[in-house]
Amino acid sequence: MSDHVLDQAARLISGTQAGAVPVKAFFDEPTFTVSYVVHDPETRHAGIIDSVLDYDPASGRTSFKSADAIIAYVQEQKLTVEWLLETHAHADHLSAAPYLQGKLGGKLAIGAEIITVQNIFGKLFNAGTEFARDGSDFDHLFKDGDSFQIGNLKAMALHVPGHTPADLAYVIGDAVFCGDTLFMPDYGTARADFPGGDARQLFRSIRRLLSLPERTRIFLCHDYKAPGRDRYAWETTVSAERRSNVHVHDGITEDEFVAMREARDATLAMPRLIMPSVQVNMRGGHMPPPENNGIRYLKIPLNAV
C-alpha cells in the first residue's frame, strides 16, 4: 500500500546530513522519561519535546528542577523556543510545557486525536464544562503528515496510534522522536492497554516507522533499562530496531505481536503517577481550576480503571 506521508518523511530524512541536527537529551530517572531540545544550528530556533514537571504524590507538591535544567540549556545555547511538542498525553509524568512556555515562549502542540483522549479522561475525572475537550488547551494540533519548521529545519508529524489514540512521532531532519511506540531494541515496545490503546494499531504504527531509511536516528520517550543492561539508553536507529527489537524485529507478524503485547500488558501495574498525570496532561499540562478556597485539587477515581 502506498504511503505518501511516509515517503515524504523518508525524503526529509534522506535529505538531511547525518548529525546535522543537534539533539540534547534530559533523562528523568523518577519517571524514566527522556525530554529533548532539538535546534536548527542556522537560526538557533528550537523545539522542546516531552518535558517533565517534577511531582511528589505524597505531598502533592510540584517543582521545577527538571524543567529548569532545560531552561538553563536553552539560555546557555542562546536558543529561541518555537515549539513545545508533546508526543502524547503522558500517563506517567506531568508535562512542564505550560511552565516552560511561560518562561521561554513557543507554541504548545500535540496530535489532533487528543480530543478523543480528552473525552475519555474528561468523563473519567468528571471534569466540568470549563474543560473544553476541543483541543483548545493546546496552541496547535497536528494531523498525520503535517509539515512544520523549526527555524529553517524541516519537520513533520506522523500519527502513530496504539499506545494512546493521539500518539505522534515527530520527524525533525534525520531525527525521529517516536514517543511511546518503540523502546530500545533489548526492551521492546510500549504498552497498549491504557484507555483507547490498541496493540494491533501499535504494531502498524511501529512497522510504519520502521519503513523509514535505515540510518534514521530514533529518540525514545522512555528507557527502563533491560535485563543485563546497567545503563539507561534512549537513542537507536531504524536499522538496529529492525534487526534486533525483541518485540518487533523483522519477521514478527502482527498476530504474534498482538498476542505477546496483550499477554505482557496483563502483567503490568499501572504507572505510579497515572492519575495525576492524565488529568493534568489532558489539559495540556494545565492544573485543574482552583476550588472556592483557592486551592487546586487532583482527583482519584475509585475502582474505575
Ligand X SMILES: N[C@@H](CCC(=O)N[C@@H](CS)C(=O)NCC(=O)O)C(=O)O
The residue ranges that bind Fe ion (CB under 5 A) are 90, 180
| SS3 (DSSP) at 280 | helix
Q: Does 67 bind ligand X (CB under 6 A)?
A: no
Q: Does 50 bind ligand X (CB under 6 A)?
A: no
Q: Does 223 bind ligand X (CB under 6 A)?
A: no
Alpha carbon 242 to its chain's center: 21
CB nearer Fe ion, residue 146 or residue 180: 180
With helix as H, strand as E and coil as C, how does 42-92 read? CCCEEEEECCCEEEECCCCEEECHHHHHHHHHHHHCCCEEEEEECCCCCCC
The nearest distance, CB 89 to ligand X, in angstroms, is: 10
The single residue among 40, 50, 54, 92 that binds ligand X, judged by CB under 6 A, is 92
Residue 52 CB partners (closer than 8 Å, separation 6+):
26, 28, 31, 33, 35, 66, 67, 93, 94, 95, 96
CB nearer Fe ion, residue 86 or residue 174: 86
The nearest distance, CB 154 to Fe ion, in angstroms, is: 26
The single residue among 5, 172, 190, 260 that binds ligand X, judged by CB under 6 A, is 190
Find cell 502483567 and name the residue: 267
CB nearer Fe ion, residue 90 or residue 208: 90
> In degrees rounded to 5, what are phi and psi of residue 7?
-60, -40
Q: Does 58 bind ligand X (CB under 6 A)?
A: no
Q: And the C-alpha cell for 54?
A: 517534577
Name the one range near ligand X by CB under 6 A: 12-20, 228-236, 251-259, 267-275: 267-275
Beta bridge partners of 189: 182
Task: Give the footprint of ligand X on this chain (CB under 6 A).
Answer: 31, 91-92, 180, 190-191, 222, 224, 268, 271-272
